[in-house]
Amino acid sequence: MLTRRSILAAASVAAIIFSSAASAQTPITIGAIEILTGPNNKYGIAIKNGFDLALEEVNKAGGVLGVPLAIAYEDSAGNKDQALNAARQLIGARKVPLILGPTLSNEMFAVGPVAVERRIPIVGTSTTANGITAIGPYVFRTSLPEADVIPVTLRTAKEKLGVKRVAVMYGHDDAFTKSAYDVMKGAIEKLGLETVATETFGSKDTDFSAQLTKIKALNPDAIVVSALVEAGAGILLAKKQLGIPDSVRVIGGNGLNSPQVPQVAGAAANGTLVGSPWFIDKADEANKSFVARYQAKYNMAPDQFAAQAYDTLFIVAKAITAAGEANPQKIRDALGKVTHQGVMGPFSFTPDRDPADTSGVVVIEMKDGKFQIFK
């Protein structure tokens, strides 16, 4: 017969077991700062989709350290001050042990120093400007720097299209587009190409006719463009409207490597060349499976930014597991040792926290609304 004391004791034990079980399922929450609203949200939404698809798979396989992994998202809207406030919210109020993002390089130049000061690892999946990881020892990136991609694109254009004379256009008020221009300029000089004109524009500009009218008169073989999606699509439309021949290719940086470009520019995007560390039609089974699951979940094709984010979430999950706890310093140390075979190919970090393998760059061209391998 149960006594009152034994009933209370049993209830206490049950409460402890229930509490422990609930506690064991409390997720480990990491932060993410992405552009989810505003003109450049094409990048941020693709990245979030990639994270969320991988997150489902990580948690289906058991999560990390026996508990689910969760992501607390903050919207930067492409504004570096808003990104900075988002980082302070995630670090100060949410106490996250790691931050994913932010989307753009100029945001990372604002946010990175705060993460370094607070000793919180931060992993950029789309920050390709020069100097990103030089911000400090807690700053990582899984995206190939433009310095590893743009020279391949320009060399291919020279060898396969006979490009000798180029005009250059770049956004002068954004860290990413300015950094890509610096890489373009160096690669053009190294390849012995002639630059007939260099024109600039602002990230919010919508009229590019003056710059392109000057360029048209100089009859270049190609126009090399460093721009984000909105401006890049506007340049392609203006080029078409001004009657610059289709044979004068636009050679873009990473900002034009997006399926959103033809959605805005339509047929004017045809012939655009970009370099990419990932291509949707890669034949390996891991990539085919990723593309199929992404399309089924989001009813659209993934892009490079989604693929990079997808792999990054697995890399971070491995680092947290290897760290043994949600401790920022231990996660940082573990990140540098992670290896991963993902949809982007084999991945590990260099000692400077950049991607170690740069062999997978391919040149792709826009044809009828989608990118294809340039042959």
What domains does the chain contain, in order, with CATH numbers?
24-144+283-343 (3.40.50.2300), 147-276+362-373 (3.40.50.2300)
pLDDT tens column, 209-267: 999 999 999 999 999 999 999 999 999 999 999 999 999 999 999 999 988 899 999 99
- The pTM of the full predicted model, rounded to 2 decimals, is 0.85
Residue 313 in tokens: 């979430």
- What gap in Å lies between CA 134 and CA 154, rounded to an integer? 26
Among candidate residues 190, 210, 361, 196, the one with its CA nearest the CA of residue 273: 361
Q: Are the C-beta atoms of residues 98 and 328 closer than 8 Å to each other? A: yes
Residue 349 in tokens: 């970090």
* Residue 224 three-state SS: strand
Task: Give the per-residue pLDDT at 10.
Answer: 42
Report how far apart, in Å, the C-alpha atoms of 6 and of each of 13, 15, 17, 18, 255 are: 10, 14, 16, 18, 68
- What gap in Å lies between CA 348 and CA 351, rounded to an integer? 10
CA angle centred on 123, ends 120 and 129, rounded to 5°? 120
Q: What one-character DSSP code corresponds to residue 33?
A: E
Task: Give the per-residue pLDDT at 7.
Answer: 38
Cβ neighbour number for residue 92 with a 10 Å cutoff:
11
Amino acid at 334: A
Torsion from C-alpha of 321, 325, 326, 332, nearest 10 degrees: -70
Task: Give the per-residue pLDDT at 358.
Answer: 79
Q: What one-character DSSP code corresponds to residue 126?
A: S
Q: Which residue has the tokens 């390849």?
A: 191
- What gap in Å lies between CA 78 and CA 119, rounded to an integer? 24
DSSP bridge partners of 168: 198, 224
Label residue 20 by pLDDT band (50, 70, 90).
very low
- What gap in Å lies between CA 359 and CA 144, rounded to an integer? 10
pLDDT tens column, 304-323: 999 999 999 999 999 999 99
Task: Give the per-residue pLDDT at 357.
Answer: 86
pLDDT tens column, 348-367: 999 999 999 878 899 999 99
Pairing state between β 222-226 and 165-171: parallel
Among candidate residues 277, 203, 264, the one with its CA nearest the CA of residue 238: 264
Q: Where are the alpha helices (DSSP H) in 162-280?
A: 175-191, 209-218, 229-241, 260-265
Burial call 16-45: b when 16+ CB within 10 Å, e when fewer: eeeeeeeeeeeebbbbbbbbbeeebbbbbb
Label residue 283 by pLDDT band (50, 70, 90).
confident
Check pLDDT > 80 for residue 2. no
